[in-house]
Amino acid sequence: QVIKCKAAVMWEANKPFSIEEVEVAPPKAHEVRIKIMATGICRSDDHVVTGGLVMPFPIILGHEAAGVVESVGQGVTSIKPGDKVIPLFAPQCGECSSCLSTKGNLCSKNDIDSAVGLMPDGTSRFTCKGKTIHHFVGTSTFTEYTVVHESAVAKIDSAAPLEKVCLIGCGFSTGYGAALQTAKVEPGSTCAIFGLGGVGLSVLMGCKAAGASRIIAVDINSDKFAKAKELGATDCVNPKDFKKPVHEVLIEMTGQGVDYSFEVIGRTETMVSALACCQYNYGVSVIVGVPPAAQKITFDPMLLFTGRTWKGSVFGGWKSKDSVPKLVADYMKKKFVLDPLITHTLPFTKINEGFDLLRTGK
């Protein structure tokens, strides 16, 4: 059956979300229809609104969520109605070169770089007012019901609190994994984190879990420092408090630069700063924030020639379908906390207020 439900539709860029009645088609072969119970708001959603991440409109955004399976299409065997699940914006088909490699996690079936805004078969499951509505990175969670491909959904512990573990669908896993999986932070090392939103704080938790001895939190909003310290930051730096560039401040603080740095904002200037502040010969810098569209980076190649490593990390380097159920299990065993990452809980109809809170740094 077609389901009629509420969704937050983004008709065009730089406009508020519009709560509309949409029709959600039944799942086709190898697809799963999910009732969304909780969804997080992520800066990557806002990048689409502002044009920093280019996607086709109209679109239903949202990619960090948890829900319950309503129905499954033909050929779906691993998941059944009633299962608790997390949709995966980085799918895992198990067949492409990245899925088959132990080094990779960004499945070629992802819709992050191609930005087609449709299901793998090239069609949409959403219509509104007679118009086709695009999907967002294969998930589209700002709706009461969504349809995802079987490769883009993970079954999780039926006892997991969905309003918490939805964060494992993006923000927490992305940050935590950037430290543990991508950078492979070692005990006793020194780390710098640029940007202390939900993902930056999750990087911080990852650095702490890895046994880093010094964790320097960098943000231009000093209101973020109390929570950073609570989660394990040893130092907090506001670049606005200094006349000199922040990478010079960090090199002075540490003597020779940090072992690991993380850019968790998505700005080209801070990406170069994060690279420059890590140790000149063996420092590793990881880009975690989504880079802005149509912007290029200019930097002195000597920064890399001396031996630094510059890496990117999508979804924290985790193979999504394999790792998400394990991360949920770890949360249930209290191996990490999620509560400090949740500042507000709002009803779905107040989604625009939620984005205002995000944009004002609250």
Specify the CATH superfamily of domain 3-171+317-360: Medium-chain alcohol dehydrogenases, catalytic domain (3.90.180.10)
| Marked catalytic residue, from 5, 18, 30, 47 | 47
Residue 247 among the catalytic residues: no
pLDDT at position 240 is: 97
pLDDT at position 352 is: 98
pLDDT band, residue 258 (cuts 50/70/90): very high
Residue percentage of the chain with pLDDT more than 90:
96
pLDDT at position 75 is: 97
Residue 135 among the catalytic residues: no
**DSSP conformational letter for 67:** E
| Tens-digit pLDDT profile for residues 151-179 | 999 999 999 999 999 999 999 999 999 99
Residue 63 among the catalytic residues: yes
Q: Give the integer Cα–Cα distance in Å for 154 and 259.
A: 34
Whole-angstrom CA distances from 110 to 20, 203, 273, 285 are 27, 23, 29, 24
| Marked catalytic residue, from 42, 166, 191, 277 | 42
pLDDT, the chain, mean: 97
Q: Nearest Cα to 318, choosing from 206, 211, 178?
A: 178
Look at phi and psi of residue 93 and say left if phi exceeds 0, alpha if psi is from -120 to 50, else beta.
alpha
Say if CB 89 and CB 315 are below 8 A apart.
Answer: yes
| Tens-digit pLDDT profile for residues 180-212 | 999 999 999 999 999 999 999 999 999 999 999
Q: Which residues contact 94 (CB under 8 A, 6 or more apart)?
A: 100, 151, 321
| Marked catalytic residue, from 44, 98, 140, 151 | 44
Q: Domain residues of the chain, as ranges?
A: 3-171+317-360, 183-312
pLDDT at position 290 is: 87
Say if CB 190 and CB 259 are below 8 A apart.
Answer: yes
Burial annotation 185-221 (CB, 10 A radius, 16+ → b, else e)? beeebbbbbbbbbbbbbbbbbbbbebebebbbbbbbe
Assigned fold of 183-312? Rossmann fold (3.40.50)
**DSSP conformational letter for 234:** S
The more confidently predicted of residues 362 and 86 is 86
Rounded to an integer, the average pLDDT of 109-130 is 94
The torsion angles phi and psi of 229, rounded to 5 degrees, stand at: -65, -40
Q: Nearest Cα to 88, choosing from 117, 110, 103, 69?
A: 110
| Tens-digit pLDDT profile for residues 31-58 | 999 999 999 999 999 999 998 889 999 9
Residue 293 has pLDDT above 90, yes or no: no
Residue 93 among the catalytic residues: no
Residue 291 has pLDDT above 90, yes or no: no
The torsion angles phi and psi of 248, rounded to 5 degrees, stand at: -70, -40
| Marked catalytic residue, from 170, 191, 207, 278 | 170
Residue 42 among the catalytic residues: yes
pLDDT at position 153 is: 98
Place of tokens 């609250």: 362
Residue 336 has pLDDT above 90, yes or no: yes
C-alpha torsion sign, points 165, 340, 214, 302: positive
Residue 326 has pLDDT above 90, yes or no: yes
| Tens-digit pLDDT profile for residues 209-253 | 999 999 999 999 999 999 999 999 999 999 999 999 999 999 999
| Tens-digit pLDDT profile for residues 64-80 | 999 999 999 999 999 99
pLDDT at position 359 is: 93
pLDDT band, residue 287 (cuts 50/70/90): very high
